[in-house]
Amino acid sequence: MYDFFEGQMLLINKPKEWTSFDVVNKVRNVIRRKYEKKLKVGHAGTLDPLASGLLILCTGKMTKKIADFSGLDKEYIAEITFGATTPTYDLEAEPDTFFDKEHITEDLLNYTLAKFIGKQNQSPPIFSAKKINGQKAYEIARKGKDFEMKKVEVEFKEIQLLEHNLPNNATIRLKVSKGTYIRSFAFDLGQKLNSGAYLSDLIRTKIGDYNLNEATELNDFQEKVNNIII
């Protein structure tokens, strides 16, 4: 039984092309229409619009625990395309710079991936929600203004090459600390390979011990709420 007002933690499978706020808004509206009451709903860690996968939502009094969930390690399956870069480090923008990629082999890729294991100082993408003097970085970037992103310490705990179609692309599993940008990882990987790279697909599969296979689709969630007898 759901108790949304006393406090509920929800595991939702975020669809691609939805923002995290879109999901929060959808869940909030579904519950409000059913109960005709106002309700607090928040998420514990943003997923980019072009990413899909696990999103933790908290309702009611449980929203006070959002920071506990957002601090957990995350696990992703990332598809990375080599030989080009984009301004956003993913497919939100078209590739605009191209590089040679024919030298990228499985051995070179595995050797380079191993260099990321451990703590790293990572620059967040300029097209991100990271705050610069109180303003979101992507808002400044869209105005064409120059600015520098401050590097932050992140940790790559596990990296595994799952499959590849080299030198074109590869699918990689990553377990990382809070605050790690997989888009930045893709860009940095391209640089270390003496080529370019961008994130072409991303699925978040785990947050702490919570798994994507435990998550609910939005349509299924709406149906469950609509069927609650009150």
- Tokens representing 186? 């893709």
Q: What's the confidence (pLDDT) of residue 96? A: 93
Q: What's the confidence (pLDDT) of residue 135? A: 61
DSSP H or E run through 59:
strand 52-59
Q: Please, what are the averages of pLDDT over each run of 10 residues along the chain (230 residues)?
A: 88 96 96 90 92 97 93 97 95 94 98 97 74 58 62 95 98 96 96 97 97 97 88
Q: In 3-state terms, what secondary structure has residue 103?
A: coil
**Residue 150 has what DSSP assignment?**
P
- Tokens representing 77? 């399956």
- What's the fold here for domain 8-71+209-226? Pseudouridine synthase (3.30.2350)
Rounded CA gap, 198 and 221, in Å? Answer: 33
Class of domain 74-207: alpha beta
Q: What's the confidence (pLDDT) of residue 123? A: 86
Q: What's the confidence (pLDDT) of residue 125? A: 80
Instruction: Report yes or no: 10 and 218 within 8 Å, Cβ to Cβ.
Output: no
Q: Is 68 a catalytic residue?
A: no
| Cβ contacts of 116 within 8 Å, gap of 6 or more | 156, 159, 185, 188, 189
Helix, strand, coil percentages for the chain (3-state, nearest 5): 30, 35, 40
Please tell me if the domain spanning 8-71+209-226 has the same topology as the one spanning 74-207: yes
Q: What's the confidence (pLDDT) of residue 148? A: 66
Q: What's the confidence (pLDDT) of residue 145? A: 58
Q: What's the confidence (pLDDT) of residue 36? A: 82
**Residue 83 has what DSSP assignment?**
S
Catalytic residue among 3, 22, 48, 188: 48
pTM of the model: 0.90
- The domain spans of the chain are 8-71+209-226, 74-207
